[in-house]
Amino acid sequence: MSVDFRTNEEPEALGGFAQPAAPTSHRLTRGQLVRRRFFRNRGAVIGLVVIGLLVLLALFGSYLLPWQYDQRDLGQYYKPPSGRHLFGTTQAGFDVLARTVRGLGKSLVIGFMVAVIQTTLAALIGSSAAYIGGWYEKAWLWVIDLMLVLPSFFLIAVVSQGGPKGTYAWLLLVVLLAAFGWQLSARVVRSLSMSVKEREYVAAARFMGLSTPRLLVRHIVPNIASMLIVDVCLGVGYAILGEAGLSYFGYGVQAPDTSLGTLIAEGAQSTTIAPWIFLAPAGVLVLLVMSVNALGDGLRDALDPSSMSGGQA
């Protein structure tokens, strides 16, 4: 594979020597480069489109769909999919599509919140551990080990079993999922930050008297931003699956709230007589997680300059 130096993002690296003139092509910015590499990946683009559609559906579904999630169609019990109810009805005559869309909304909100919180935690803890070092670093590494040893599923279930119930109980779930989700990413952030912290500009910033928190946020974290973006994206998938798994056993989102997990658990009760109640939320869950994974993989390949799968820019 030939390497095109005109696309190199750091022309200064050539030490100020005049570069070979390239009259026929212009230099690409990093943004353009990443965008080209990303849009060449068909799976990732499809994933992005599907996520966009699902988010729109979750946001505006209640205005577009003929039935509301809490609206009964009396007499229409356990009806298979038809023109009247696209995904059929439940035992009590609720529209499966409307309920799936509502569950999807909650799953998406939880997924995004957890992913953003846990990646933020990972970035702050991982980079500060690498930069400060010493006992501070040892202590965090030890905490990470400690939390990895514990089976998080059971602990989250214990807390959510004993924790508060009600409308905002799902926020506790978000906190718990994030609290047990940042450890592996923090390790990766730490090892990436180790090399960044040796750079000259970090030393320069330090000697100019920049405070440690500011130095981390301004000079270290931006340099690992591509890893963090991918981490958020893949984190959404893990969080949605984690929430659904807990809800499947009744330890996640509590009634009257619904998520894809609670709907799947509900549908699993009647797979023999009314499989559509199970298949609709399960299908949407798989579709969503697949799209998020494809998007994350695509972003990684596009952002990682050493990756070959993005092709040449």
Partner 1 sequence: MVRYLLLRVANYAVLLFIAVSLAWVLAQTQLHPRQLFEVRTPPLDPRSIENILRAANVSDQVPLWDRYVTWLRGVFLHWDWGTSPGGGAVGDEIGRRIWVSFRLVTIGWLLGTVLGVALGAWSAVRQYRISDRVVTAIVLILVATPSYVTGEVTKMVATAVNKQVGFQLFLFLGEKSTGTLPGYPLAGLVDRVQHMVLPTLVLTLLGLAGLQRLQRSLMLDALGSDFVRTARAKGLRENRAVMKHALRTALIPTGTYFAFQAATLFVGATYTERIFAFQGMGIYGVDTIATQNINGIVAVTAFGGLCYLVGAILADLMVAFLDPRVRLS
Contacts with partner 1, residue ranges (CB under 8 A): 43, 142, 145-146, 148-151, 153-155, 157-159, 161-163, 237, 241, 244-245, 248-251, 264, 268, 271-272, 275, 278, 282, 285-286, 289-290, 293-294
Q: If phi over 0 gives left and psi between -120 and 50 gives alpha, with beta otherwise, what is residue 69? A: alpha
Single-letter code of the amino acid located at 203: A
Half-sphere exposure of 172 (CA within 13 A, CB side): 20
Q: How far is the CB of 282 from partner 1 (least distance, A)?
A: 5
Q: Give me 274's structure tokens.
A: 């009314």
Rg (CA), the chain: 24
Q: How far is the CB of 207 from partner 1 (least distance, A)?
A: 38
Q: How far is the CB of 225 from partner 1 (least distance, A)?
A: 23
Length of the chain: 313
Question: How many other CB atoms sit within 10 Å of the CB of residue 200?
Answer: 7
Residue 193 or 262: the one with the smaller Cβ distance to partner 1 is 262
Single-letter code of the amino acid located at 302: A
Nearest Cα residue to 261 out of 274, 245, 275, 276:
245
The per-type count for the chain, helices as H runs and strands as E runs, is: 12, 0
Q: How far is the CB of 144 from partner 1 (least distance, A)?
A: 11
Residue 30 or 42: the one with the smaller Cβ distance to partner 1 is 42
Residue 93 or 250: the one with the smaller Cβ distance to partner 1 is 250
Residue 70 or 145: the one with the smaller Cβ distance to partner 1 is 145
Q: CB–CB of 282/265 below 8 Å?
A: no
Give CA–CA dist 251/242, Å, rounded: 11
Distance (Å) of CA 60 to CA 102, 104, 184, 262: 10, 12, 36, 21
Residue 126 or 242: the one with the smaller Cβ distance to partner 1 is 242
Q: How far is the CB of 39 from partner 1 (least distance, A)?
A: 19
Q: How far is the CB of 24 from partner 1 (least distance, A)?
A: 30
Residue 33 or 244: the one with the smaller Cβ distance to partner 1 is 244
Give CA–CA dist 184/119, Å, rounded: 10
Query: Three-class SS string for 262-309?
Result: HHHHHHHCCCCCCHHHHHHHHHHHHHHHHHHHHHHHHHHHHHCCCCCC
Residue 68 or 270: the one with the smaller Cβ distance to partner 1 is 270
Q: How far is the CB of 87 from partner 1 (least distance, A)?
A: 16
Q: How far is the CB of 135 from partner 1 (least distance, A)?
A: 16
Nearest Cα residue to 37 out of 220, 260, 306:
306
Residue 91 or 271: the one with the smaller Cβ distance to partner 1 is 271
